[in-house]
Amino acid sequence: MAIMIDGKAVSAATREQIKREAAEMTVKPGLAVIIVGDDPASHVYVRNKKRGCEEVGFNSWVYELPESTTQDELLTLIDSLNVKDDVHGILVQLPLPRHIDESVVTERIVPEKDVDAFHSVNAGRIFKGEASLLPCTPAGIMELLRYYNIEVAGKRCVVIGRSNIVGKPMAMLLLGANGTVTICHSRTRELAQVTREADILVSAVGKAKFVTSDMVKDGAVVIDVGMNRNEDGKLCGDVDFVSAEPKCSYITPVPGGVGPMTITMLLRNTLTAARNIIKN
Ligand code: NAP
């Protein structure tokens, strides 16, 4: 039987640590979150981010803007937050309404306050192995591996998915930890043959039951990033958990695996951003 990687427990321990570190600072770290429009799921995410800030003793501000907000109005708000001394992290909740260009908005946040690490400067720093702000989901996965003492160095790592948010930065972080990394995507041939090589398999596809047991090597560590709905409408990952779990040494459940780490790493980034800004 595989060891279940408990994202909730690691997240709670990490938040306690962040809270302790924040309490020792002379300045309270502060996160500004902007949300445009009425998407209910996005509002839930934003509420959880605000709650996370309160839990670890950060300042937080939520800017709720109507769907009709223009791109210029949003950019003007970002400009004002970029120069506000008590704001150390800025996050614009995605997706944005269709009339607003996400890329323009992402690039407008100063890299020092870009706690999602989506700005090209931060993406470039990840590529060079010099980042201090890391994309939250891949950073959360690295934290889970560290917490469970799962060695990456020298291991065969396979990442399924090449999005800018998850797949690509995940591969870079595993490479940075001296894994031997392969990235797979929808055009990969003989996918199962590639994934069966993996000591550490990360799936970030977004399709329920996509990773079947025949794709998993005996003793593999399987990290499931997917957030999907099964036929009963319940949250599930990419991995066909029932069939794959007995083959794994470690596995992340969904829910309760990778998911709980994402906001925690956002808090970690906000603390790091505050430290970096205060130092300069
Ligand atoms: P995305 O942008 O849609 O990327 C999906 C990736 O999967 C793409 O690179 C795609 O390849 C690849 N793919 C699709 N079909 C495939 C196939 N048949 N074989 C191999 N690769 C295939 O999604 P994302 O933003 O990275 O998110 C992935 C999943 O993670 C989603 O379920 C999302 O909800 C979840 N997620 C969870 C968290 C969390 O906190 N737990 C955070 C972020 C995302 P191509 O590039 O060739 O199209």
Task: Show me where the domains of the chain are located.
Answer: 27-111, 136-258
Check residue 278 and give its pLDDT.
Answer: 94
- In tens, the pLDDT along 184-234 reads 999 999 999 999 999 999 999 999 999 999 999 999 999 999 999 999 999
- For the question of residue 199 being annotated catalytic, the response is no
Mean pLDDT of 175-182: 98
Residue 160 alpha carbon to ligand 1 centre in Å: 8
Residue nearest to atom 8 of ligand 1 (CA): 161
Fold classified for 27-111? Rossmann fold (3.40.50)
Per-residue confidence (pLDDT) for residue 113, from 0 to 100: 98
Is 214 known to be catalytic? no
By the 10 Å C-beta count (0-12 exposed, 13-18 middle, 19+ buried), 51 is classed as exposed
19 catalytically annotated? no
Residue 16 DSSP SS3: helix
CATH number of 136-258: 3.40.50.720
Asked if residue 106 lies in contact with residue 97, where contact means CB atoms within 8 angstroms, the answer is: no
**Cα(78) to centroid of ligand 1, in Å?**
28
Q: Quick one: which atom of ligand 1 is closest to the CA of 259?
A: 41
Measured in whole angstroms, the distance separating CA 23 from the mean position of its chain's CA atoms is 24
Domains 27-111 and 136-258 are alike in CATH topology: yes
pLDDT tens figures, 230-246:
999 999 999 999 999 99
Q: Which residues of 145-173 are buried (b: 16+ CB within 10 A; e: fewer)?
A: bebeebebeebbbbbbbbeebbbbbbbbb
Contacts of 3 (CB under 8 A, 6+ apart): 148, 249, 250, 251
**What does the alpha-carbon distance between residue 47 and residue 51 come to, in Å, rounded to a whole number?**
6
Q: Which atom of ligand 1 is nearest to the CA of 237?
A: 32
pLDDT at residue 279 in the model: 87
